[in-house]
Amino acid sequence: MNKVVKEVNEALVGITDDMTIMLGGFGLCGIPENSIGKLVELGVKNLTCISNNAGVDDFGLGLLLQKKQIKKMISSYVGENDEFERQMLSGELEVDLIPQGSLAERCRAGGAGIPAFYTPAGFGTEVAEGKEVKMFKGKPHILEAALEADFAIVKAWKADTAGNLIYKATARNFNPLMAMAGKITIAEVEEIVPVGELDPNFIHTPGIFVQRVFKGEKFEKRIEQRTVRQKN
């Protein structure tokens, strides 16, 4: 089965207003930047985006925020985006902030068919408001619901034509978890090889979870926060 599509336009067919979309990445590492850029061009709006972060003002999800295409962000870390901050404080953007481990597990649970789970993370904070609490081993845990999406868009290093994916180093991050949790999963990759060329022992996402694969046109290797030593 060949899951390769020619370009990003074909890969994103079916994404419309008011949908929920998962987008892989951690900071600026491993984000599907070509897909995000095309969503900006398509002008889809009122999106609910599930992503660890919200990009920066001029890159990643920050581009969708600038165009007011996102109505709700479900995220963990959002501290690098001034426009995100402005929209959240003004009430223009609905925000659900989740502890990072809980966000990862809620995505994994969605892909594994687990509807909800208990975790101690967030108990006693705003995160726990309105959620069921149970005691396990004398410790309070809150009930967290799994997350799923109409589309999951991930970024991988290599793919074969059957949709098997390998991520590179820290770009692996949220991508494998989100790839499992989308009704339709789109993989934006750097290289596509024939079936049989990827070592099965090193495949991170089996092709059964992936519906579409395309090769990105360009990728920027940005550093979100560059820290260097001062010269002596």
Domain with residue 79: its CATH number is 3.40.1080.10
Question: Is residue 160 assigned to a domain?
Answer: yes
Q: Which structure tokens are listed for 112?
A: 């594994």
- Mean pLDDT of the 95-107 span: 96
Is residue 219 very low, low, confident or very high in pLDDT (cuts 50, 70, 90)? confident
Asked whether residue 49 is domain-assigned, the answer is yes
Is 12 in a helix, a strand, or coil?
coil
Going across the sheet that includes 116-119, the strands are 116-119, 139-145, 133-136
Looking at every residue in the chain, the average pLDDT score rounds to 94
Strand 116-119, strand 94-97: pairing: unpaired
Any domain includes 42: yes
Separate counts of helices (H) and strands (E) for the chain: 6, 11
Residue 1 domain flag: no
Per DSSP, the three-state class of 188 is strand
Residue 52 lies in a domain: yes
Asked if residue 192 is part of any domain, the answer here is yes
User: Kindly report the CA angle at 93 between 153 and 110, in degrees rounded to 5?
Assistant: 40
Range of the domain at 192: 8-115+147-215
Residue 58 pLDDT > 90, yes or no?
A: no
Residue type, 229: R
Would 27 be classed as within a structural domain? yes
Confidence of residue 224 (pLDDT cuts 50, 70, 90): low
Dihedral sign for Cα atoms in the order 24, 9, 199, 30:
negative
With cut-offs at 50, 70 and 90, classify the pLDDT of residue 171: very high
Q: State the total domains in the chain.
A: 1
Place of tokens 């949220």: 174
Work out the percent of the chain whose per-residue pLDDT is above 70. 98
- Whether residue 200 lies inside any domain: the answer is yes
DSSP 225: S
Range with lowest mean pLDDT among 63-72, 172-181, 222-231: 222-231
Specify the higher pLDDT residue, 218 or 200. Answer: 200
Nearest alpha carbon to residue 165 among 6, 30, 44, 20: 30
